[in-house]
Structure formats: structure tokens, C-alpha cells
Amino acid sequence: MSSTEFTEPDVPPPTDSADSTESPTAPTRRTFIATTTAVGGAVVAGGFITGSTFIDAEGAEAGEAAPSSRVSLTVNGSRRTVTVDNRTSLLDLLREHLDLTGSKKGCNAGACGACTVLVDDRRVNSCLTLAARLEAAEVTTIEGLADGDELHPLQQAFIEQDAFQCGYCTPGQIVSGVGCIKEGHTGSPEEIREWMSGNICRCGCYVKIVRAVEQTAGRK
Ligand code: FES
Ligand code: FES
């Protein structure tokens, strides 16, 4: 046996006999594991997690409906009216209710930019934006950039510059790049990098992403 391997000691299980050195009430390794497993199970049984929401057991038993709102907004040029749980993010509204799965859920915490969409022409992390607050808003997602079969110039530039590998961050990068160009933050590669810094690419395609934005902004 290697010195790093670990096995259960070859001894009988502890008993409550009088000559035991352990207190009858002291937890053994086995009782500790059994107790923590039971407690963990009770915690899980006490409530359930659905996507980004947590519903407590009491509310679920009582059959209480979570507070919801009716919201009308325009998504990629189409008017949509939906009733959503007030805690629903714009990202979940797009992906789960409207079947627009182009916007990606990376961190779901505002740190990666994979979920970037435009709301009234401004870049937002849709995972941090409450859908219920978007009455009358205009939302543009990656699905809304092409004109029929004709790609948006930045989509075309991403292909020409080979600005992606796995592609997971790409929808967010492209929507963010469109926002960056509209905002006029394309004066230099450094400026583009700065204003695209909220969009993380784990494949490290930053140089080519910046080139694609530059190309679209008319610098090349
Ligand atoms: S999924 Fe929204 S910022 Fe990462
Ligand atoms: S292309 Fe893979 S994360 Fe950006």
C-alpha cells in the first residue's frame, strides 16, 4: 500500500461498553456522517430551487403564487406581452419564456458578459436585469442583429477575423461590440479593450475580437 492511501482501520465498530474511551454521547465518525447527511437532506427537503428562484416549503404547501407582473416590451422588433414572476431576470425571460437562447448564461452574476443584450440601445447584463421593470423597453439580442440572411457587419467581421473558438462568449461579445461602436468608444485598440472589458473570453480571443470591432467601426 502506498503511504498516501487511506483505508478504514481494521477494528470493530465502537460500542457503548463501559471500557470504551469514548463518551456515550460523543459523536463518532459514522454518527457524524449520518447526522450531517440527515440535516443536509432536511435542508434540501425544506425548500426547492428552480433556476434562480428559491421557494420555501411553507409557501409551496400553501400553494401561494409568487408575486408576478405583466410586462409588455419589444424584443427584436416584435411586441411581446408576458406575465413573469417578479424575480425573473431578463436573461431567463429571453431563454425560458421567449425561446431566445442566443444570449448565454455564464456566471449569472454580472461578471462575464455572456448575457449582454441592448436595452434601449444601452448594453446591459441581462442576468442582472429584472424583466418586470422593462415595461415598454426595446430589447435587442444577438438574434435581432442580422437582416434576414444578411449578417450584421460585426457578425461578418467576427467570422473574417476568426474571433472565436468555443463560441460561448461570442453572442455577448458581438452585442457588446455593437453597443461599443454605437457609443463611439472605438478610437484605438486600447479604448476598445477598455470598453469591452466586461466581456470575458475564456478562449483568449481578445486580439481578434478587438480587430473585428475595429474593422466594423471602419478603422480598417
Ligand atoms: S451571465 Fe450575465 S454577466 Fe455572466
Ligand atoms: S470563444 Fe470561447 S469563451 Fe470566448
> Which bound ligand lies closest to the C-alpha atom of 124?
1
Residues 6+ apart with CB under 8 A from 206: 193
Q: How many Å lie between the centroid of ligand 2 and the Cα of residue 200?
A: 8
Backbone phi, psi, residue 124, to 5°: -140, 155
Q: Is any ligand 2 atom within 6 A of the Cβ of residue 162?
A: no
Domains in the chain (CATH in brackets) are: 66-144 (3.10.20.30), 146-220 (1.10.150.120)
Pairwise CA distance, residues 208 & 164, whole Å: 8
Task: Note the pLDDT tens digit of each residue in 46-105.
Answer: 333 333 343 444 445 556 778 999 999 999 999 999 999 999 999 999 999 999 999 999
> What is the tens place of the pLDDT at every residue in 161-172?
999 999 999 999
Find residue 125's DSSP bridge partners: 116
Which pairs count as long-range contacts for 93-100, CB under 8 Å and 24+ apart, including other chains? 93/131, 94/126, 94/139, 94/141, 96/51, 100/75, 100/76, 100/141, 100/143
Ligand 1 centre and the CA of 3: distance in Å?
44
- Cα 83 to Cα 25: distance, rounded to the nearest angstrom: 54
- Element containing residue 54 per DSSP (H, E): strand 53-56
Whole-structure pTM value = 0.73
